[in-house]
Amino acid sequence: MEQGEKPFKAGFVALIGRPNVGKSTLLNHILGTKLSIVSPKPQTTRMRILGVKHEDDAQIIFLDTPGIQKGKDILTKTVVESAVASMEEADVIVMIIDAEKGWTREDELILENYIKRLNKPTILVINKVDKVKKDSLLPLIEEVSKKYDFKEIIPLSAKKGENIDRFLEVLKKYLPPSPPLFPEDQITDLPLKFFIAEIIREKIFNNIRDEVPYSVAVEVESIREGENNPNILVIDAVIYVEKQRHKGILIGKKGQMLKKIGKEAREELEYLLGKKVYLNLWVKVKERWKEDARLLKMLGYHYIS
């Protein structure tokens, strides 16, 4: 490094907030690719998703955490533990709130129970500013500035891409000097099976209403190249549901719903992976799978004690 040149920086940034404030949308926009699945339903993100943003002078390693929520089953407790673990390993915490809903009781609980306890540099992001009038932002900024000693308060729109460049520049200020922690061609540590399972689960969330999506888990059993054609991927996956009637809803009349979900997942996977995909889906009933620690570990939920 030449004299006067700024040191390279690299560090971990945890994105936290209650469900549906736009954490996954923000990460996907920053990375320029779809890494976290998105839906309007809570508990869409169930595990910590790591995404690496490579800049000329920094490497920002984002940890997209599940929305912090209450629940007694093992799955929900695991989701929260994943978020907490991400906060504990982060160099910087980014708390995200919804400009439309303002500061909520859930935001207050996250601040009191996690951020104040960890006492790490914290930036507050006010997301979805494209959905509110500009003159309503100043009172909200004034309100939240009194809640805590946030290092910065940044209004932005993850969906529209507004003010994200400034957000990245601000983040760099709080990262420690460090050489790159990941190769420049790597943007995540996710295994392919997990990524595929998440895409399938997103299509279920987006096609089925009520309680069914929350009772669903996806296990990718195998990924293999097509016979005599390495440009074809054959994927076998099982969708677990908790009740027989959920299975019926998921399959649909004459199997039409499962076909629709499979078609949407296959088309997106082909686009993202750059290969033709044959996707075989099965639906199995596994009662109380959210309480089955062995199955949850098999599905990749690693924070189960």
Supply the pLDDT for residue 98.
96
Of the chain, the percentage scoring pLDDT greater than 90 comes to 43
Nearest CA to 203 out of 264, 269, 125 is that of: 264
Q: Mind listing the pLDDT tens digit for each residue in 113-134?
A: 889 988 899 999 999 999 999 8
First to last CA, the chain: 44
d(CA 76, CA 48): 13
Burial class (CB in 10 A: 0-12, 13-18, 19+), 111: buried
**CB proximity list for 142: less than 8 A, separation 6 or greater:** none
> 55 and 163, same structural domain?
yes
> 76 and 199, same structural domain?
no
**CB proximity list for 116: less than 8 A, separation 6 or greater:** 148
Q: Mind listing the pLDDT tens digit for each residue in 53-108?
A: 999 999 999 987 755 545 555 555 555 565 566 677 889 999 999 999 999 999 99
Give how far Cα 161 sits from Cα of 103, 143, 157, 158, 187, Å. Answer: 22, 24, 6, 5, 19
CATH number of the domain residue 164 falls in:
3.40.50.300
pTM reported for the whole predicted model: 0.71
Look at residue 1 and tell me whether its pLDDT is greater than 80. Answer: no
**Domain for residue 185, yes or no?**
no
Among the three residues 173, 204, 226, which one is the final residue of a domain in this structure? 173
> 147 and 235, same structural domain?
no
Give how far Cα 69 sits from Cα of 45, 77, 252, 253, 297, Å. Answer: 12, 9, 31, 34, 21
**Domain for residue 1, yes or no?**
no
CATH number of the domain residue 229 falls in:
3.30.300.20
Give the range of the structural domain holding residue 39, as residue numbers without chain letter: 9-173
> 200 and 54, same structural domain?
no
Confidence of residue 6 (pLDDT cuts 50, 70, 90): confident
> 235 and 109, same structural domain?
no
Look at residue 186 and tell me whether its pLDDT is greater than 50. Answer: yes
- Number of domains the chain is built from: 2
